[in-house]
Amino acid sequence: MATHQRDLWPADIAVTANLQTPVTILREQALLLGEKTKNVVEAEVISGGNNIEFTHSFILVAPALENYKYRLFTVRHPVELYPLWINFDSWNEEPSEVDSEEEFVKELKVIFAHKRTKDIIQALIAQSQ
C-alpha cells in the first residue's frame, strides 16, 4: 500500500530575495580593509550564537605586532536578522539599533569613517612599520 505524502510547505519557502546577511556584509568589509592597508592591518569576523541570537565581532588584526587584535564592535541579531544592535565595546557608547540592511550599511559607513576608527587603524599601521 503506497502512502501519499502531503506537502504543506509553500512553494516560495526558500526564496531569499537577494538578502545579504549582516555577517556577509561584515566579512566583505574585513577583506576590503586588508586590501586598503596592504594587509598591514586586517580584519576578521568571529561569529557565535545561541538559541536567541547571533553575534559577530569585527576585530582589527595587526600581523606584524604578533597578531595583535582589537575588537572594534560587535553586532547582535535574532535569526530574522533585523533589528540588530551594534555594541561599541571600548567606546563607552550605547548600542545602536538598526532596522534594515540599508540602515546597517549606512551605520557601518559612519563607523568606518569615524575619527576613532581611523586613529586606531593609523596607530596600528605606524606601530607595524
Whole-number mean pLDDT of the chain? 93
pLDDT digits (tens, 9 = 90+) for 34-80: 999 999 999 999 999 998 999 999 999 999 999 999 999 999 999 99
Q: How far is CA 77 from CA 48, 58, 60, 83, in A?
A: 11, 14, 21, 7
| Range of the structural domain that residue 123 is part of | 22-128
Pull the grid cell for residue 17: 530575495
Residue 3 lies in a domain: no
Residue 119 lies in a domain: yes
Which pLDDT band holds residue 1 (cuts at 50, 70, 90)? low
Residue 4 lies in a domain: no
Residue 9 lies in a domain: no
Please determine, for residue 2, whether its predicted confidence score (pLDDT) is greater than 80. Answer: no
Question: Given strand 42-49, what is the order of strands in its sheet?
Answer: 42-49, 54-62, 68-77, 84-87, 96-98
Residue with cell 555594541: 87
Residue 1 lies in a domain: no
- What's the whole-model pTM score? 0.89
Residue 15 lies in a domain: no
Residue 16 lies in a domain: no
Instruction: Give the chain's domain count.
Output: 1
Q: Given this model, what pLDDT does residue 91 score?
A: 73
* SS3 annotation, the chain: CCCCCCCCCCCCCCCCCCCCCHHHHHHHHHHHHHHHCCCCCEEEEEEEECCCCEEEEEEEEEHHHCCEEEEEEEEEECCCCCCEEEECCCCCCCCEEECCHHHHHHHHHHHHHCHHHHHHHHHHHHHHC
Residue 12 lies in a domain: no
**Residue, of 18 and 62, whose pLDDT is higher:** 62
